[in-house]
Amino acid sequence: MDRTVDVKGVRGFGELLADRKGLLDEPRYEQQVARIVAALVHCYRNGGKSLWFGNGGSAADAQHIAAEFSGRFLRERKALAAESLACNPSAVTAIGNDYGYERIFARQVEAFARPGDVVCGITTSGNSPNVVLALQAAKQAQAVTVAFTGNGGGKVAQIADLSLIGPSGYSAIIQEVHITMGHIICDLVEQELFLKS
């Protein structure tokens, strides 16, 4: 490499970072996060589990957040039952082959979700058919449904009990909000379950 990229460019590093900070400072997130944290804390205190899923980058976010719960986030503590439904390629491909791609998460939700569990679907558009069907299946199972979404919420915000609605526009920016809020949720759940009496 013989030259450095100009990070000040047309929209420079500082401006791009300020855009994200402005998004994350929105007061609406505090109330949305508080409700999701309360649902997860109640679930875990009662021996439940959380199930996470999404497509593409949202599948990676689902896997990431589930791992923070089942492993640990910031504190040494008891493992919390959490699973990402996009991580078993045999299940995903078999269900996709036998029932169609739209059912890959719903079928697993039918298998694993129980009353009182928290089932979280992540979709930046708010309209991914497989996430919509899975949240509907979760409601049938009497689980608490959570949507991480964007672009005004979409269909999933109408279905889910609780929603974290990110900004409108580029999926990448919505995903940045989702993973930031996901980490905050993990931290707050740990605090509630393991630091408070």
Tens digits of residue pLDDT in 63-98: 999 999 999 999 999 999 999 999 999 999 999 999
For residue 13, the model assigns a pLDDT of: 78
The pair of three-digit structure tokens given for residue 169, joined into one six-digit string: 């526009």
Question: Distance (Å, rounded) from C-alpha 99 to C-alpha 105?
Answer: 11
Look at residue 172 and give its three-state secondary structure.
helix
Choice among 25-29, 99-103, 161-165 with the minimum mean pLDDT? 25-29
For residue 21, the model assigns a pLDDT of: 82
Look at residue 53 and give its three-state secondary structure.
strand
For residue 19, the model assigns a pLDDT of: 75
Question: Distance (Å, rounded) from C-alpha 14 to C-alpha 23?
Answer: 14
Q: 34-195, superfamily in CATH?
A: Glucose-6-phosphate isomerase like protein; domain 1 (3.40.50.10490)
The pair of three-digit structure tokens given for residue 89, joined into one six-digit string: 């390629």
The pair of three-digit structure tokens given for residue 44, joined into one six-digit string: 């875990």
For residue 18, the model assigns a pLDDT of: 80
For residue 2, the model assigns a pLDDT of: 61
pLDDT grade, residue 62 (50/70/90)?
Answer: very high
Counting beta carbons within 10 angstroms of the beta carbon of residue 15, is it exposed (0 to 12), middle (13 to 18) or buried (19 or more)? Answer: exposed
Q: What is the mean pLDDT of the chain?
A: 93
Percent of the chain whose predicted confidence (pLDDT) is above 90: 84
Q: How far is CA 87 from CA 63, 90, 96, 163, 197, in A?
A: 7, 9, 14, 23, 35
For the chain, what are the domain ranges? 34-195
For the whole model, what pTM was predicted? 0.92
